[in-house]
Amino acid sequence: NAGVTQTPKFQVLKTGQSMTLQCAQDMNHEYMSWYRQDPGMGLRLIHYSVGAGITDQGEVPNGYNVSRSTTEDFPLRLLSAAPSQTSVYFCASSPPRLNEQFFGPGTRLTVL
């Protein structure tokens, strides 16, 4: 099992550009989440999904879109990047009931 994979590892964008952060898991987990981590602020939930076709907002959803067309993939879209979105982004998945989350290695995004 590869676990949770994220691509790219690093990305630099200019203000106003769009991009998609990819996340995939091969553990057949129903639940998937996107977090951002900023210095001194811990992990903040952006969007999450409890299954294919179902998504919901977390604490800081503005500026981000998600979709969940398959169990395996949960991409995060930035439609118009802003410097405030400079952060490290983590994707996580978990099976239902156990609620232990498995995290990917992260994507470090810089918006200039």
Partner 1 sequence: SQKIEQNSEALNIQEGKTATLTCNYTNYSPAYLQWYRQDPGRGPVFLLLIRENEKEKRKERLKVTFDTTLKQSLFHITASQPADSATYLCALGTGNTGKLIFGQGTTLQVKP
**CB-CB contact of 73 with 23 (8 Å):** yes
> Which C-beta is closer to partner 1: that of 3 or that of 16?
3
Residue 41, SS3 per DSSP: coil
Tokens representing 40? 């001194």
Q: How far is the CB of 111 from partner 1 (least distance, A)?
A: 20
Say whether residue 90 binds partner 1 (CB under 8 A).
yes
User: Would you give the end-to-end CA distance of the chain in angstroms?
Assistant: 36
Binding mask 45-84 for partner 1 (x = CB under 8 A): x--x-x-------xx-------------------------
